[in-house]
Structure 1
Amino acid sequence: MGAEAEERPHGAAVVADGFGLKGPRGWAFREVSFRAGPGALVAIEGPSGSGRTCLLLALTGRMKAKEGTAEIGGLRLPKKMAAVRRISALGHVPGVSELDPAFTVAEHLGERALLQRRFDGSVRTFLRRPSERRASARARIDEAVAAAGLDLAALPKGERTSVRDLERLEALRLSIALALIGRPRLLAVDDTDLKLSDADRAEAWALLRSVADSGTTVLAVCSEAPEGALRITTLDATTAAAPDTDTDKAADTTPGTEARTDGEAEADTEARTEADTATADDTADADTNKASKADKAQVPAKADKADKADSDLTEDTTEEGAADALAETGRA
């Protein structure tokens, strides 16, 4: 009983303070600050391209932040990224941890259990008899499948059902089951409510709430946060201004960036255009000469900045080409 109790998942507290990540094309997100206790359900909401996935990967130690700090279970980011990866697990994250459509459900579960035993097993585990190891792996699989609410008997071909034949909600349950095999302290899931009906969306959130209630802290990217979840809102970083207001630190809604409305942006643009037109006749010749000199001077500077941005991308992302691609685009 004592050994089993130690293996049971216990949630990791998540604390972010001015957290931000910048790629070559600008800020993916910035000024994210919030606190979530162990076993909390945290919903990261916002429009597509607002840095939601990048924030998810940064908080799980898969991407390196550029500013601010965060702590996951007392492990400080970005300094302890490897340690955070060991206590966290990714569910469905497109381009990073996706299901293989050609694999069956049984093949996915068996492979994950084998990898878990290979990389996380203790020396005592390897000294067990093969029959005991198989029984232990099967018990861990059954536990994860039950926690994810995946009914294997209800699938078209049971465990032999291919991933390509799964419904969206069933595929989501399978990805969560695979993540829970490692008994993580932090579970991260992307696109939680994507392509789900209202009924399936309610089931998905009920599943994540049950995982959080069992002790595992849950981070879930979504288009709209459900009631009762800690809501973290990210805004489009391409139109964001540097946030520095008390409103950003509201208790249940924490914007990652601030953005002006389209009307404000258009009005600002028109004002600048009128001002430029008013002074254009008096300064046309001088501006032409200055622009020509400035362009010549800025060509090498722009090239240097581009080279530096490419090197930053290589240094600041830590896991697989897919994560690099997300940081390069600056979108999630």
Structure 2
Amino acid sequence: MNALRIAGLTVTRGAGPVIRDVDLTLEPGRITALVGPNGAGKTSLLEAVSGVVPAASGTVHIGSEEITKQSRVARARRGLAHIEQGRAVFGGLTVLENLMLTARTRARADELIEAFPELEKRRDSPAALLSGGEQQMVVLARAFAARPSFLLIDEMSLGLAPVVFTRLLPMVTRFAEEGAAILLVEQFTHLALGVASDALVVSSGRVTYAGSAQGLLDSPGTLHAAYLGES
């Protein structure tokens, strides 16, 4: 299967770059945790990879094909999905109808609903009436329903209690086990590193650590230094 390769990626907003010279490879079946302090440039990196904002320099490839200049829609057609911050459910549609927007079959939608016990009970409820955690489950399930090859997840836990977020993580792991490459941006650093194979720490727009997620968990001093921007 193809990998997604990012080389020398720089993103500029306003007066100057917010992310500089990032190199990263997302391999099928692996989760990469992208962590760092607030304002480090994590969201800007994901937006440049998915085509929400243009890259100032650098390249993005899927396999041998460069997609750096492609539109967001074209990248999505190549199997690149991006779950942005916040919960983007269609409130007037039921849970099932939300999933049918991306699922190719009713059977696929039913399979995803059954994977989330909370959604099984609410499949015919308007999404606007769900709790924050349930809405985030709908967003995840809708993304999984499309079977993307590459999935960028930005702050899945935003507004959720840690216990709710913990219930969502096994679904991310399961999707990776099915062959997807996942880049996970998350404020609950230790929980994200706990399910990830690889880790990238960014601070002040630069990569300060790239390597094993477990290695970072096993070395609190390294994690602390990386957050402070010390390579």
Query: TM-score, length-normalised on structure 2?
Result: 0.76
Given that 1:40 and 1:217 are in contact with CA atoms closer than 8 Å, whether structure 2 keeps it comes out as: yes
- What does 1:19-34 align with in structure 2 at a 5 Å threshold? 19-34=9-24
Higher relative contact order (CA 8 A, sep 6+): 1
Aligned residues: 214
Which structure has greater helix proportion? 1
Q: Deviations over 1:260-283 (max 9, x none)?
A: 79xxxxxxxxxxxxxxxxxxxxxx
- What does 1:106-185 align with in structure 2 at a 5 Å threshold? 106-113=96-103, 137-146=105-114, 149-151=115-117, 154-155=120-121, 158-185=122-149
Alignment partner of 1:200 out of 151, 161, 164: 164
Query: TM-score, length-normalised on structure 1?
Result: 0.56
Deviation, structure 1 residue 214: 0.9
Alignment partner of 1:227 out of 171, 184, 194: 194
Given that 1:75 and 1:83 are in contact with CA atoms closer than 8 Å, whether structure 2 keeps it comes out as: no
Q: Deviations over 1:134-160 (max 9, x none)?
A: xxx2123223434xx2236653xx322
1:70 equivalent to 2:60? Answer: yes
C-alpha separation between the residues in 2 aligned to 1:232 and 1:161?
Answer: 39
Paired residue type of 2:169: W
> SS in structure 1 opposite 2:136?
helix
Which structure has greater strand proportion? 2
> SS in structure 1 opposite 2:11?
strand
> SS in structure 1 opposite 2:81?
strand
Q: Which has the larger radius of gyration?
A: 1
C-alpha separation between the residues in 2 aligned to 1:16 and 1:185?
Answer: 15
Paired residue type of 1:233: V
> SS in structure 1 opposite 2:193?
coil
Give me the CA root mean square deviation.
3.1
Alignment partner of 1:84 out of 75, 80, 84: 75
Q: Assess, with a 3 A threshold, how the Cα gap between structure 1 residues 153 and 20 changes in structure 2: closer, same or farther.
A: closer
Q: Deviations over 1:256-310 (max 9, x none)?
A: x99779xxxxxxxxxxxxxxxxxxxxxxxxxxxxxxxxxxxxxxxxxxxxxxxxx
Structure 2, unmatched stretches of 5+, are 217-222
Q: Name which of structure 1's ranges 63-72 and 104-113 shifts more when overlaid on structure 2.
A: 104-113
Q: Deviations over 1:177-232 (max 9, x none)?
A: 11122221112222122233333232222221111011111122111132251222
Q: Deviations over 1:159-183 (max 9, x none)?
A: 2222233233322221111112222
